[in-house]
């Protein structure tokens, strides 16, 4: 059986929220609590994803150098045990991809270290005005709720897997199975536990060991 196993990135493959991490690294602790509240609202479904991204970028005011420095720093934040799980999935023949509501410019280096080719990374894109970020690509489906479901539907049509599995911590991950784009959803609370997701997920892993048991069984 050929499976397509899609992993969320922030608070799943990585032990941080990459955009929030980059904002705090760039701006210091000033506003960090506000940024976390915006992120939590988006991940729990209390705020739309696109609104959450826009609000955080308004605080960020990134330049190219700050994004590059954060991307390098994020290489140290892979979720413990995740590299081993990914290797085991690939060894048994699963096609493993990363599908993120975060930004490729921030997470790509860390994901390469976890064995993801660029072609297996699906993420949002910054828009640049010279050396500063002017916004983000709202034509990218991952910039809004329902985007992960849309991407998985496209990949199902392209690769024809026998089944599609989505793994993640947030509402946008859960949407993939509730829309029918994924056949199975495994909620992951090893980094951040979101009640709205845990209550609705048929399968939930509170640790990397539980996640490995559910995916490799």
Q: Which of 10, 94, 105, 169 is catalytic?
A: 10
Strands (E), the chain: 3-7, 95-103, 121-124, 126-129, 132-136, 163-168, 184-188, 203-205
Cα distances from 71 to residues 101, 182, 201, in angstroms, run 16, 29, 31
Cα distances from 59 to residues 24, 40, 164, 210, in angstroms, run 10, 16, 36, 36
Of residues 172, 154, 156, 175, the one with CA closest to residue 164? 156
- Catalytic residue status for 8: yes
What is the C-alpha separation between 74 and 15, in angstroms, rounded? 9
Q: Which of 8, 20, 169, 173 is catalytic?
A: 8
- Catalytic residue status for 105: no
Kindly list the catalytic residues. Answer: 8, 10
């Amino acid at each position: 059986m050929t499976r397509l196993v899609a992993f969320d990135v922030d608070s799943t493959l990585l032990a941080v929220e990459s955009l929030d991490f980059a904002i705090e690294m760039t701006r210091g602790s000033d506003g960090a609590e506000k940024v976390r509240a915006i992120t939590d609202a988006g991940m729990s479904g209390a705020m739309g994803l696109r609104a959450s991204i826009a609000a955080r970028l308004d605080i960020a005011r990134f330049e190219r150098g700050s994004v590059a420095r954060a991307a390098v720093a994020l290489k140290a934040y892979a979720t413990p045990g995740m590299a081993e799980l990914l290797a085991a999935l690939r060894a048994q023949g699963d096609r493993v991809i990363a599908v993120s509501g975060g930004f490729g410019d921030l997470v790509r280096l860390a994901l390469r270290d976890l064995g993801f080719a660029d072609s297996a990374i699906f993420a949002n894109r910054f828009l640049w005005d010279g050396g500063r970020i002017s916004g983000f690509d709202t034509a990218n489906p991952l910039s809004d709720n329902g985007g992960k479901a849309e991407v998985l539907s496209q990949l199902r049509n392209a690769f024809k897997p026998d089944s599609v599995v989505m793994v993640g911590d947030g509402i946008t991950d859960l949407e993939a199975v509730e829309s029918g784009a994924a056949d199975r959803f495994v909620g992951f609370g090893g980094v951040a536990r979101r009640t709205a997701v845990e209550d609705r997920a048929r399968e939930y892993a509170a640790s990397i060991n539980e996640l490995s048991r559910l995916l490799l069984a």
